[in-house]
Amino acid sequence: MKREWAKHIIFILLATIVLAVNYKPVYNWDILPYMALALNNTVDDKDSVHKEVYRLIKAGQEKGEVPNGTFGELTKRIPYRIECYENADKFNAQLFYYRTKPLYNLLVYLLYATGVPLLEATFLPSLIGCFFVLLILYAWMSLYTSGFTAILVTVLTAMLPLFSELQNTSSPDALSAMFVLLSMYLLFSGKARGWIWLSLALAILIRIDNFIFAAVILFVVLKPHQNRLFALLILFLATALIAVIVVPWLSGNSLLWFTRFRFLESHVQYYFHVRNVFRAFFGDAYYWIWVTACIVLLNVKYERVQKLMFIITASVLVRLVLFPSLQERFFAPYELALIVASLMAVNGRMLSPKEIRQVPEAII
């Protein structure tokens, strides 16, 4: 028992050190809308909010808290950014997309309301999310390998460029990855369904497009027969309706906010987005590494691996069809889950009967 606690303490210390060393905030344009949405909870005047978010960036740069040149990057060069800087109405019109992450926005506001500087409040959820991503990976990997191996693989995972992007940007993506991974971990470690449903609900509130992942999990858990497919379809449509329309509407969007996505303007626009996905995929060898790993794991004849690979593959492919955009941060939890699937494939068969009882077959 003492040895197990020692491993856990070593992991927490190493994870904290890695996160601290790799913490280099990236001040991309998205930080502005997220700050604005936090300020909207206490300031009614949109013009004042617009001025304040840009003032905070400029003041942070003057104090040395924000890298030199950041304010210029966010207000010049790109016509879109220039318009948003010069026109408060144009800026506020862009907030519709950012309202679709209500739980992240709530966390930013609560941190700000408790005294955390607004700039830091947008980054802190990412750091928290990344710490728990590492914790979930460590716990999940520990089911299939020794504690020290799980620590090593988890720490190496924290050094991937993808992970660095998650922890260093103002976005809900780290928290999204956390809840998606948590849902899979709960599922494959045989936890009660109620915890899985709660994790899926929080994942959707962090990023509404996680309703796709939630639908895939529902399909796997409920294992519908032909006579239940219609009921499951109704459940899926209800989940999509709540996620895409009801949640954003409660967050301040119009009911038809989603029609403002460029790829929905026409079939031509959709074609261009799909074409860009293929161009990005074939133009970056990095994606081929993950695809190769996926193809190999799809051919592993081990039930747990097959179930996890179905969840990963279906979630990624359906998302690409419904939202044709190949930004790696959207697929981070699935890439991380592939690492766990690899451990399942290598070590899963070698578990002793006693160890198998300690890793109960998931409720799927």
What is the tens place of the pLDDT at every residue in 72-93? Answer: 999 988 899 999 999 999 999 9
- What is the average per-residue pLDDT within 322-335? 90
| 169: helix, strand or coil | strand
Judge whether 36 and 53 are in contact, CB under 8 Å. Answer: yes
- HSE-up of residue 122 (Cα within 13 Å, Cβ side): 26
Q: Rounded mean pLDDT of 56-74?
A: 92
Decide: helix, strand or coil at residue 76: coil
Which whole number is the average pLDDT over 166-194? 93
Query: What is the average pLDDT value for the chain, to the nearest integer?
Result: 87
Please state whether the predicted TM-score (pTM) of the whole model is above 0.75: yes
How far is Cα 32 from Cα 119, in angstroms, rounded to an integer?
9
Residues 6+ apart with CB under 8 A from 281: 287, 326
Residue tagged 């954003």 (tokens): 248
Better-scored residue on pLDDT, 254 or 30: 30
Residue 190 has a pLDDT of 85
Residue 177, pLDDT above cutoff 90: yes
Q: Hey, how many other C-beta atoms are within 10 angstroms of the C-beta on 63?
A: 8
Other beta carbons within 10 Å of 104: 26
Taking the C-alpha atoms of residue 185 and residue 154, their distance in angstroms, rounded to an integer, is 15
CB 213 within 8 A of CB 357: no
pLDDT digits (tens, 9 = 90+) for 202-248: 999 999 999 999 999 988 887 766 566 777 778 788 888 888 888 88
Compute the distance between CA of residue 296 and CA of residue 30 in angstroms, rounded to an integer: 36
Angstrom distance (rounded) from CA 195 to CA 342: 25
CA–CA separation, 219 vs 1, rounded Å? 38
